[in-house]
Amino acid sequence: MTENRVRRVAEQIKKDVGGIINFEIKDPRVVGITSVTDVDLSRDLRHASVYISVYGSESEKKETLQTLVNASGFIRSEIGRRIRLRYTPEIKFYLDDSIEYGAYIESVIKSLKEEENDSNDNGSGKDN
């Protein structure tokens, strides 16, 4: 199987799973902002690892992840209807904290720049 086809199918699964999570799963345990960040698909298209990002507290993240794991059969059947493949891939969900980690790193860099600007302004000692 070519890498290009695997990549295209993975992108389609990413798009479809995102739509299913946001518009078709009516479970209140899935919190408001849940997005699919990546899909890793095996070369034989039988296994898909779906990485999700959830905006909320740690308990909301765990509850959303568990709800999606429980709904994986429904999500798999929807994927099977939307994408014509010989075998519909088994779906496993994983929590992805990379967006939050990126935001944390950005805030640290911003605070360091502000501290640097404050120390340069105060430490210059020049009077005009």
Contacts of 113 (CB under 8 A, 6+ apart): none
The model's pLDDT over 104-120, given as tens digits with 9 standing for 90+, comes to: 899 999 999 888 888 88
Buried b / exposed e over 81-94, threshold 16 CB at 10 Å, is: eeeeeeebbebebe
pLDDT tens, residue by residue, 14-58: 999 999 998 988 888 887 688 899 999 999 999 999 999 988 888
Question: Which domains are present in the chain?
Answer: 3-97 (3.30.300.20)
Question: Quick check: 59 and 70 in contact, CB under 8 A?
Answer: no
Q: Tokens standing for 88?
A: 């519909």
pTM: 0.78
| pLDDT at residue 73 is higher than 80 | yes
C-alpha distance from residue 108 to each of 27, 67, 105, 116 (Å): 36, 33, 5, 12
Token pair in block for residue 14: 């990413």
